[in-house]
Chains A and B, each alone.
Chain A
């Protein structure tokens, strides 16, 4: 694996507000990353810093071995599709796709044409007259058809319906299989993209709180449900991520369980169920002092 992005001690402050706080992580080549977190957690700011659209307050960013800001050699290999991407007022989608190949050497116009029909995008209507979902489709098509070695999608599908979102996931996976590249996807809809992601970076309040392989993360927590007394006995001494009780019953989310622990839980009549990525992230980003945070 080749590291193509290396971030060390990165901070970005706007006045007194700290959007990104001492973040360090790396991105490997040819993987799909999820950059997850709540609104205002700092996802967009991180992507703006990585694509040279903003300048760091502190810390180092290296993309393809160089600083991205004002570096054409780096940026011509980067495509950044923002949810809030602005287009010239009287541009139509046709203008956007006409200009795209001048900026993206790997642009595939046949693929773009196929996506345009998949998303039923009107080409001749001005972008400011398009619906929210159609505007998002413009960005999604640029992001996919540009085939940039490093592609950022920041909440790319605001306003897209479920069918269109599924089309996006399908096309992304298909094209990624044929033309491997590095994709960083930021989103709220964690469950929807959970199967796409190979690596997950979770940011909360400007800090990186999870940076883990997606498979490892999925196996990292289990929910134990049953009689409160039995559950409490079972989880004693384990890290507890979350607890819910209804009457005499309890449902507790704990860290990884080995085979012996699973067998013992079964003997005690406790029900074990996997925790979805979304639940896991919700639980780690709402509890402010959870042990999980310190561990990762």
Chain B
């Protein structure tokens, strides 16, 4: 049977262009519940629990000297670290699931990767800003009125706002790009590729550690970190961040969305 055609036929369009990258960018923001609200809710819950713990500890101390000593210890907090790991998982999920979805929607791998990377940069700036704000809030409230430290933990430094933004945002971006790199390895070569990548990474890390040991460099390395502080460390992390980002691009360029 030949269907009777009455309407105007749909011909190929040639417009759009760079807006394809923007489409992917928007796609990474379409479900904000997963990428914004849930992580912020968890962050809030962790903060509340920390405040409760700080209050419990302080309530059981009498001497003000003890209190000062304990509050001194509060600066070694890893409580906000989870948000970085969460973003790593977001990036892995994006590569594993949003990638085949976007390709079904007619996106190219290039546009998908550039749009997604741009989205991760925006998320990093956003989370950097939120964490910076919280760090100031923590200072202004004298550590949530308990001398607690979660966003001004010793590792983040206490420089001016742009340094904090850089440290938090750069840190989040570093974790995003680790997720991107391993996510693309999985999409391209599945579990075997991932195993190989972990083995390779382990070899590199052990090799680096061995190199530092052989050259008696631990002291120098420690001194470097002490001198570089958070800002210098994150600046140095931008190198692996960029390498992960570039590697991800070329790995994904030949990946196929298998079911």
A interface with B by C-beta (< 8 Å)? 4, 29-30, 32, 48, 51-55, 64, 70-73, 75-82, 84-92, 95, 98-100, 102-106, 142, 147-150, 173, 176-181, 195-196, 198, 214-215
Contact = CB atoms under 8 A, between A and B. Distances in A.
Contacts of B102: 103
Contact of A85 (B14, B31, B98, B100): B100
Given A85-B104, A149-B11, A198 B259 contact: no
Contacts of B33: 90
Contact of B110 (A70, A73, A99, A214): A70
B27 A78 contact: no
A-B interface, 10 closest residue pairs, ranked by CB to CB distance from nearest = A84-B259, A102-B23, A178-B7, A103-B105, A180-B9, A77-B12, A75-B106, A180-B5, A181-B10, A88-B97
Interface stretch (B198-206, B235-243, B249-257): B249-257
A82 B104 contact: yes
B256 A177 contact: no
Nearest to A30: B9
Interface in B83-142: 93-94, 97-98, 100-111
B207 to A, nearest CB: 33
Contact of B108 (A54, A72, A179): A72
A81 B106 CA distance: 10
Contacts of A106: 10, 13
Contacts of A87: 97, 101
Contacts of B67: none
A29 B11 CA distance: 9
Contacts of B214: none
15 contacts: A30-B5, A48-B256, A51-B103, A53-B256, A53-B257, A71-B108, A80-B104, A80-B106, A90-B34, A91-B30, A102-B22, A147-B10, A176-B3, A177-B5, A198-B3
Nearest to A63: B12
A83 to B, nearest CB: 8
Given A88-B101, A103-B23, A195-B1, A52 B10 contact: no
A54 B103 CA distance: 11
A260 B97 CA distance: 61
Contacts of A85: 100-101, 104, 259
Contact of B26 (A52, A55, A102, A214): A102
B10 A103 contact: no
| Dominant secondary structure at the B interface | loop
A100 B20 CA distance: 12
Contacts of B101: 85-88, 91
A104 B105 contact: yes
B2 interface: yes
B97 A86 contact: yes
A76 B3 contact: no
A54 B23 CA distance: 22
B4 interface: yes
Nearest to B13: A105
Given A77-B106, A88-B101, A179 B30 contact: no
A149 B13 CA distance: 9
Contact of A88 (B6, B93, B107): B93
Which of B11, B15, B111 counts the most A-chain CB atoms under 10 A from its CB? B11
B113 to A, nearest CB: 11
Contacts of B111: 72
Contacts of B3: 32, 173, 176-177, 196, 198
Contacts of A102: 22-23, 26-27
Contacts of B97: 86-89
A273 B198 CA distance: 64
Nearest to B5: A180
Contacts of A81: 104
B118 to A, nearest CB: 14
Given A55-B254, A79-B106, A176-B5, A72 B27 contact: no
A71 B109 CA distance: 9
B104 A95 contact: no
A95 B98 CA distance: 12
B114 to A, nearest CB: 11
A179 B105 contact: no
Which of B3, B26, B93, B259 counts the most A-chain CB atoms under 10 A from its CB? B3
A156 to B, nearest CB: 12
Contacts of B6: 177-178
B215 interface: no
A53 B256 CA distance: 6
B60 interface: no
A53 B9 CA distance: 26
Contact of B20 (A32, A76, A79, A181): A76
A77 B15 CA distance: 10
B64 interface: no
B165 to A, nearest CB: 29
B31 A149 contact: no
A55 B255 CA distance: 9
A201 B31 CA distance: 40
